[in-house]
C-alpha cells in the first residue's frame, strides 16, 4: 500500500503529538477542532489504521502513529528547509548571476562590484562572459547571459538599455611626450601625430570616428586589442584615445594620460537586458547594488570611473 498523505494531514498529526491535545493542535494550525478531527480521520482512512486512541480526556498515539511520527517530522522538516532555500533565492541571497561584460568593464568595474556583493551574499555564484559589444547582445538574446554591461546598442536591437555611467575618453601617450605635461588637449591633436585606432569591430571605433570626423584624421595603425594598443604607444608608434575604464587593460608604466577636450567625449555604459525576460531575483539585487554604487538609481548625475585625472603611471 502506498499512502498519500497531504502535508496538512502530516502537520495536524505532528501537532497533536507535540501538544497532546486536539484542541491545542487546532489552535496552533489555525483551524477549528472539528476540522482538525476530520483531517485526522481522513489520514486514518488513507492508512487504514488508527493514529490515536482517544477518549474524552486522553489522547494516546498508536503503534502505527509512532511509526509514522519520525517520517512525518522528516517530511515536514525537508519541506520547511526547501521553502527556506526558495525564500533565500527569492530574496536574492542565493542563486547564480550570469553576466556579460565588455573586456574593459570586466577589468575595471565588475571585480569590485562582485567582491562587495559577495561580502553580503557569500552563497551567490557568478558566471562571467567577456565579449565585444555585438557578441554580448547575441549572448543576452540567446539567454547565455542574464544581462550585460556594454555600450548603448543600436535602436534596431530588441533589447532594453538603462544608462549606468559615462566613461570619458582620454589621450594616451608616452610619459616623456611633451603632451604629457599639458592639463588637457583637443581632439585636433590627432591630426598632427600618428594616430592609433581601434579595429572597426570595436565599440570604441564609432565613438572616436565621430569625434575626429571634422579633423580629417587617418589612422597610422589599427590595434587588435587594448593591451596591444598600450604596447604600440609605449613603442613610440603613435598616440591614441581610450575610455578611462579601458586603462585597466594596459600596462601603464612609461605611459601617461591627458584629458581630451573640444569636444569632451564619453563612452556611454549601461545595463542591457532582453525585452520580455524576467531576471532571476539574485540578478536584480546585484543590479540594484551596482546602480547604488554608481549613483545611477537615485541620481541623474553620472559618476566618472576615476575621481581625478592623473598623468602618473600608477593610474
What are the distances in angstroms from CA 67 to CA 5, 62, 302?
14, 9, 65
CB 51 within 8 A of CB 61: yes
Among residues 103, 99, 112, 101, the alpha carbon closest in space to that of 242 is found at 103
CA-to-CA dists, residue 126 to 53, 56, 255, 282, angstroms: 55, 60, 34, 10
* Average pLDDT, integer, range 214-241: 95
Whether the bond into 263 is cis, omega within 30 of 0? yes
Nearest to 59 by CA among 25, 11, 8: 25
pLDDT at residue 309 is higher than 70: no
Residues 47 and 180 in one domain: no
* pLDDT band, very low/low/confident/very high, at 56 (cuts 50, 70, 90): low
Range among 4-18, 62-76, 248-262 with highest mean pLDDT value: 248-262
Residue 256 confidence class, pLDDT cut points 50, 70, 90: very high
Domain assignment present for residue 2? The answer is: no
User: Would you say residue 225 has pLDDT above 70?
Assistant: yes
Asked if 144 and 280 sit in the same domain, the reply is yes
pLDDT in tens, 114-137: 888 888 888 888 989 999 999 999
Mean pLDDT (the chain) is: 85
**Beta 124-130 vs 196-198: how paired, if at all?**
unpaired
Nine-digit cell string for 284: 536584480
Q: Which three cell numbers stand for residue 182?
A: 599639458
Query: Which of 57-61, 117-121, 231-235 is modeled with the greatest confidence?
Result: 231-235
> Greater confidence, 164 or 314?
164
Q: Is the pLDDT of residue 257 over 70?
A: yes
Q: What are phi and psi of 123, to 5 degrees?
A: -85, -10
Neighbours of 210 (CB within 10 A): 11
175: Cβ contacts below 8 Å, ≥ 6 apart: 254, 255, 256, 311, 313
Residues 177, 252 within the same domain: yes
CATH number at residue 186: 3.40.190.10
Q: Which of 89-93, 234-238, 249-253, 291-295 has the lowest mean pLDDT?
A: 89-93
Looking at the structure, do residues 172 and 157 belong to the same domain, yes or no? no
151: pLDDT strictly greater than 70: yes
**Are residues 283 and 158 part of one domain?**
yes
**Residue 286 domain boundaries:** 95-164+268-294
The domain that holds 68 is classified in CATH as 1.10.10.10
Q: Could you give the percent of the chain with pLDDT greater than 70?
A: 88
pLDDT (tens digit per residue) in 283-303: 888 888 888 777 654 333 333
Q: Identify the pLDDT of residue 272.
A: 92
Element (H, E) at 173: strand 159-174
What does the alpha-carbon distance between residue 28 and residue 24 come to, in Å, rounded to a whole number?
6
Q: How many domains does the chain have?
A: 3
Q: Pick from 67, 32, 30: which is nearest to 47 by CA? A: 67
Amino acid at each position: 500500500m502506498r499512502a498519500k498523505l497531504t502535508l496538512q494531514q502530516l502537520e495536524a498529526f505532528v501537532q497533536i503529538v507535540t501538544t497532546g491535545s486536539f484542541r491545542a493542535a487546532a489552535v496552533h494550525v489555525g483551524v477549528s477542532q472539528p476540522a482538525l478531527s476530520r483531517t485526522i480521520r481522513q489520514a486514518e482512512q488513507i492508512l487504514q489504521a488508527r493514529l490515536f486512541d482517544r477518549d474524552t480526556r486522553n489522547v494516546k498515539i498508536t503503534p502505527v502513529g509512532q511509526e509514522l511520527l519520525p517520517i512525518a517530522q522528516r517530511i515536514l522538516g525537508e519541506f520547511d528547509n526547501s521553502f527556506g532555500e526558495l525564500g533565500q533565492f527569492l530574496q536574492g541571497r542565493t542563486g547564480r548571476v550570469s553576466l556579460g561584460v565588455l573586456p574593459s568593464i570586466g577589468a575595471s568595474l565588475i571585480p569590485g562590484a562582485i567582491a562587495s556583493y559577495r561580502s553580503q551574499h557569500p552563497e551567490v555564484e557568478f558566471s562571467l562572459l567577456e565579449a565585444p559589444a555585438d557578441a554580448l547582445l547575441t549572448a543576452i538574446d540567446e539567454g547565455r547571459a542574464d544581462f550585460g554591461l556594454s555600450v548603448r546598442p543600436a535602436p534596431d536591437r530588441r533589447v532594453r538599455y538603462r544608462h549606468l555611467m559615462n566613461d570619458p575618453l582620454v589621450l594616451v601617450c608616452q610619459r616623456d611626450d611633451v603632451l604629457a605635461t599639458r592639463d588637457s588637449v583637443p581632439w585636433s591633436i590627432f591630426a598632427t601625430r600618428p594616430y592609433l585606432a581601434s579595429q572597426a569591430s570595436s565599440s570604441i571605433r564609432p565613438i572616436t570616428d565621430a569625434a575626429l570626423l571634422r579633423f580629417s584624421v587617418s589612422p597610422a595603425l589599427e590595434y587588435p586589442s587594448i593591451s596591444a594598443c598600450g604596447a604600440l604607444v609605449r613603442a613610440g608608434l603613435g598616440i591614441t584615445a581610450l575610455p578611462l575604464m579601458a586603462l585597466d587593460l594596459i600596462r601603464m608604466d612609461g605611459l601617461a594620460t591627458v584629458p581630451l577636450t573640444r569636444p569632451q567625449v564619453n563612452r556611454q555604459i549601461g545595463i542591457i537586458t532582453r525585452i520580455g525576460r524576467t531576471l532571476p531575483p539574485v540578478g536584480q539585487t546585484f543590479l540594484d547594488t551596482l546602480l547604488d554604487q554608481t549613483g545611477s538609481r537615485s541620481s541623474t548625475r553620472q559618476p566618472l570611473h576615476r575621481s581625478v585625472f592623473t598623468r602618473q603611471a600608477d593610474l
